[in-house]
Structures are given as C-alpha cells and as structure tokens.
C-alpha cells in the first residue's frame, strides 16, 4: 500500500518537525513540510501523534550536535511504543555523520544529506513500504534550483517568507564546518529568485528574507554577470514585495555599491547582520576572516553615514585558540564602539574538519565561560540602553501576527531595524505597515501604542 493510499483510507498521516540551528535549516524544514504535505501528511505539534518525525540538524556548534544526539536518544522510547513510527534526520549532522548515525541509533530510519531535501518524499516512501533503513548523501543539489521554486510556490507562507538565493560557502573560516557540510558556493539564477518572490507576493507575503551563508558574494559562477547589489535592485524594481531583507553577509564582500543600496532602495530594510567574530586582528587572522578590526569599523562608519538609523546585528566568538586577555578586551572595545542592536555570541568549540581544531593553545572551559558571560552582560546593557532610547519614538512596523504572549488582541511586528514591537490592535492589521509610538523597552522587544492613520 502506498503512503498516499494509506493516508486516504485511514485519515491523514501526521508529520512532526523539529529544527535545530539556522534560518537555512528553517527554510529546508518548510520545504519538507510542503513536499510531505502534498503526499498527504498533516503537520502536528503533538509528537505522540506523529507517524513521521523529521529532525533537521545543525553542526556549526558542538552544542547543537550534542542536542541532536540527546534528542534522538529520547525518541527511542516513542519508537518502542509505535514501531511503525519513521524517524528522519537531515541537515549538517546527517551530512557529516551519515551511516554512523544509523549505526548509533538503531531506531533511526532515514539519514538525508544537506542536498537531499528534494528526495525526501521518494525516500520516505521506500522506507515506509519496504521497511528499509537508508542513508542518502548526494554530492550535488538534486533537481537544481527549479525544485526550490516549485516547492516554494506551494508552501503556505506567512507575512514574512525566506527565499534561498545561494547555498554553500567558499570562505573556509578556520573554525567553521559549513563549507565541509554544505559544499562550495552556488548562486541561484536571478530569474528563478524573482519568480519565487512574485509568487510569494501573490500569496500575501509582504517581506522576503534573502538567505545564504554569504549572500553578498552572490553571483559567482552564474552565466550572467550580476552582483548582489544588482540583484537587490532587480528585486526592488521588478517585484512588488513591500520589504526586502537579507542574511548573512561577510565583511570582506560588503562593497560601496551594497552600502549605497540601503540609501537608494526604499523597500530594502535598513538592517544588516554582519558577523565580526573578534576585535583582535591577530585572532581574525587565525580565524581566516581576511579583514581587520579597523576595516570592520570603517564599514560600519560607511553604513551609518549612508543611513544613520541603520540597524546592526552581529556574531562574535570568544575563546578562540590562543585568544589572550588583551585580544578579548579588544573584542569588548569594538562592541563598545559600535553598540550593536543585537549580538549572537558563542564560545569556541572544536569542529571536525575545521582547521582551528588542529591549533594549539586551546583555552580552558572556565576561561571561555567567564569571557562569554562578561561579553553577554556588556551586550545586555548596550541593548537595553538602545531600546530605552526608542521610548517616545514613532516607528513603522510590519505587523507579522498575534504576539505569543497575547490574550488575543496583542499584535507583534518588526521595525525596519529588526526590532520586535508588541502593541494592542485588531487582527485585520496583520500584513500591514502601521505606525506605533514606543512606550516601553525590554531586553528583546519594545511595547507601544498604535497611532491613528
């Protein structure tokens, strides 16, 4: 019996999804939801009701990988209770560990590499009908970009939708595993991106988040000559999408042309996520980041002089091998000078295949932990001060939906600068741009009152 006929005769089969890691993974999970949705699977939030559990994994941080192992361990009990349950692992951990995962977790059914998402339906069918356990790690993206388009067009999007514009990375930062598990950089043709954005706009999407490991090096290897800034201009001029954002950018590829785009394209949100990683040139060099702290500061100056109200977020790592107290102080100093609106901070951990894992002078866990706490405390002070400075300002907010803490009438949305704003208002405003006067500031969000039109 096929999966489809099983679904037809006994009601829908249930799919439970769990994603660990980055927005690229969130996007792939949405593609899986769509593909399996077409095959008759209904999404469930109750893991006990699931016929299929799809776990999308990240191995960028050691902690994320540990989470995958403990999550899989916990699923053993569910499989015992329901031997027909099918468990799938995809993403970076699947790509990296492959068959080892099947050997280690006897209750796991299917391991899918980072380029295998388009095959999920067919492979699940084989697992379900032939009771096979499979590993599939293709070397290149299956079905190419067109499958993204087909799958993207049919998803059920909200107000904001991600759109992949490139995959992989060529930068080989010495601590990072991404080029090893996601492969070399590949850019998606502009026509395919524009078609997807138009389709999403027709379905009611108001904001697109252009996704890639290193979006601002977009264009390499395409038959057409097109820079990332030119792509942004095409999206801006040739589609009717209300807002455009992108992530993630590498400082070495942040051109004058791209900085100018923020001032020239009104529907491009004035916000950038630009990882700096360290304020010490010595550590940046060991990380193979190919810029200096001074260069990073001058890029921020350029962005702020083009758009004084630019929203800035970043990634930083503490405890890289050989990081001295002085190197760490330089990182704190750079944070004080720039005053990021949001900062994702991590403590260094060895990743297999990454060159930094071979470096000497690893720091003890207590030192890394103490540095991370000090850095996070400083960032919390900065964010709270910056959020408090918003009190009294009137901000334009794209309403994304009901606030999670809502009793029914509290809406949530984002400013161009990516600040979350909660306020009272009717549900009809979802998907609209509204003006909100900010009245309260917290660590992760603002609260305000809706202004009359």
Interface residues with ligand SF4 (CB under 6 A) are 169, 171-173, 176, 178-179, 213-214, 250
- SS3 label, residue 400: strand
| Overall size of the chain counted in residues | 453
By beta-carbon proximity to ligand SF4, the closer residue of 172 and 344 is: 172
Closest CA to 341 of 260, 436, 233, 269: 269
By beta-carbon proximity to ligand SF4, the closer residue of 44 and 187 is: 187
- Closest distance to ligand SF4 from the beta carbon of 172 (Å): 6
Residue 208 phi/psi, 5° resolution?
A: -110, 145
Closest CA to 219 of 249, 185, 242: 185
- Closest distance to ligand SF4 from the beta carbon of 176 (Å): 3
By beta-carbon proximity to ligand SF4, the closer residue of 94 and 110 is: 94
Q: Under a CB-based contact definition with an 8 Å cutoff, are residues 116 and 138 in contact?
A: yes
- Closest distance to ligand SF4 from the beta carbon of 173 (Å): 3
d(CA 447, CA 429): 16
Strand-pairing partners, residue 43, are 15
- Closest distance to ligand SF4 from the beta carbon of 315 (Å): 8
- Closest distance to ligand SF4 from the beta carbon of 323 (Å): 17
By beta-carbon proximity to ligand SF4, the closer residue of 250 and 386 is: 250
Q: Under a CB-based contact definition with an 8 Å cutoff, are residues 313 and 275 in contact?
A: no
Distance of CA 13 to the CA centre of its chain: 28
By beta-carbon proximity to ligand SF4, the closer residue of 151 and 167 is: 167
By beta-carbon proximity to ligand SF4, the closer residue of 65 and 416 is: 65
Residue 411 phi/psi, 5° resolution?
A: -100, 160
Q: Is 103 exposed, middle or buried (0-12, 13-18, 19+ CB in 10 A)?
A: exposed
- Closest distance to ligand SF4 from the beta carbon of 96 (Å): 14
- Closest distance to ligand SF4 from the beta carbon of 196 (Å): 23
By beta-carbon proximity to ligand SF4, the closer residue of 359 and 433 is: 359
- Closest distance to ligand SF4 from the beta carbon of 354 (Å): 9
Strand-pairing partners, residue 395, are 436
Strand-pairing partners, residue 89, are 55, 111
Place of tokens 């969130």: 26
Q: Which residues contact 203 (CB under 8 A, 6 or more apart)?
A: 157
CA distances from 195 to 24, 61, 165 (A): 20, 34, 12
Instruction: Report the DSSP pairing between strands 433-441 and 446-450.
Output: antiparallel
- Closest distance to ligand SF4 from the beta carbon of 250 (Å): 5
By beta-carbon proximity to ligand SF4, the closer residue of 13 and 284 is: 284
Residue 413 phi/psi, 5° resolution?
A: -160, -170
- Closest distance to ligand SF4 from the beta carbon of 451 (Å): 40
Distance of CA 276 to the CA centre of its chain: 17
By beta-carbon proximity to ligand SF4, the closer residue of 213 and 403 is: 213
Closest CA to 113 of 56, 72, 60, 167: 56
By beta-carbon proximity to ligand SF4, the closer residue of 170 and 281 is: 170
- Copy the structure tokens of residue 381: 């002070």
By beta-carbon proximity to ligand SF4, the closer residue of 127 and 173 is: 173
By beta-carbon proximity to ligand SF4, the closer residue of 172 and 442 is: 172
Q: Under a CB-based contact definition with an 8 Å cutoff, are residues 443 and 216 in contact?
A: no
- Closest distance to ligand SF4 from the beta carbon of 185 (Å): 9
- Closest distance to ligand SF4 from the beta carbon of 197 (Å): 24
Conformational region of residue 106, where left means phi above 0, alpha means psi within -120 to 50, and beta covers everything else: alpha
d(CA 226, CA 9): 51
């Amino acid at each position: 019996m096929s999966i489809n006929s099983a679904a037809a005769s006994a009601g829908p089969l249930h799919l439970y999804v769990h994603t660990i890691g980055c927005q690229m993974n969130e996007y792939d999970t949405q593609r899986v939801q769509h593909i399996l949705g077409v095959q008759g699977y209904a999404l469930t939030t109750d893991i006990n009701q699931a016929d299929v559990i799809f776990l999308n994994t990240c191995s960028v941080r050691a902690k994320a990988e540990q989470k995958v192992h403990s999550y899989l361990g916990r699923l053993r009990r569910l499989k015992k209770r329901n031997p027909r349950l099918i468990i799938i692992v995809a993403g970076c951990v699947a790509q990296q560990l492959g068959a080892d995962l099947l050997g280690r977790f006897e209750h796991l059914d299917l391991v899918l590499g980072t380029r295998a998402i388009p095959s999920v339906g067919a492979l699940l069918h084989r697992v379900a009908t032939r009771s096979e356990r499979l590993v599939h790690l293709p070397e290149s993206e299956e079905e190419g970009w067109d499958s993204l388009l087909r799958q993207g067009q049919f998803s059920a999007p909200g107000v904001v939708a991600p759109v992949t514009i490139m995959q992989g990375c060529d930068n080989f930062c010495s601590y990072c595993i991404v080029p090893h598990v996601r492969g070399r950089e590949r850019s998606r043709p502009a026509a395919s991106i524009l078609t997807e954005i138009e389709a999403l706009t027709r379905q009611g999407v108001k904001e697109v988040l252009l996704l890639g490991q290193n979006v601002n090096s977009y264009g390499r290897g395409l038959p057409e000559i097109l820079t990332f800034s030119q792509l942004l201009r095409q999206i801006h001029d040739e589609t009717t999408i209300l807002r455009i954002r992108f992530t993630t950018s590498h400082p070495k590829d942040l051109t004058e042309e791209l900085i100018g785009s923020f001032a020239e394209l009104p529907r491009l949100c004035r916000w950038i996520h630009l990882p700096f990683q360290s304020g010490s040139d010595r550590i940046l060099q060991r990380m193979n980041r190919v810029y200096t702290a001074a260069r990073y500061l001058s890029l921020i100056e350029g962005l702020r002089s083009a758009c004084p109200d630019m929203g800035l977020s970043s990634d930083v790592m503490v405890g890289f091998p050989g990081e001295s107290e002085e190197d760490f102080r330089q990182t704190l100093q750079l944070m004080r000078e720039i005053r990021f609106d949001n900062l994702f901070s991590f403590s260094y951990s060895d990743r297999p295949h990454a060159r930094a894992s071979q470096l000497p002078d690893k720091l003890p866990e207590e030192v890394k932990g103490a540095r991370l706490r000090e850095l996070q405390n400083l960032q919390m002070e900065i964010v709270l001060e910056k959020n408090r400075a918003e009190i009294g300002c009137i901000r334009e907010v794209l309403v994304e939906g009901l606030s999670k803490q809502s009793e029914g009438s509290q809406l949530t949305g984002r400013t161009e600068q990516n600040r979350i704003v909660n306020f009272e208002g009717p549900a009809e405003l979802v998907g609209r741009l509204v003006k909100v006067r900010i009245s309260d500031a917290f660590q992760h969000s603002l609260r305000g009152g809706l202004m009359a039109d």
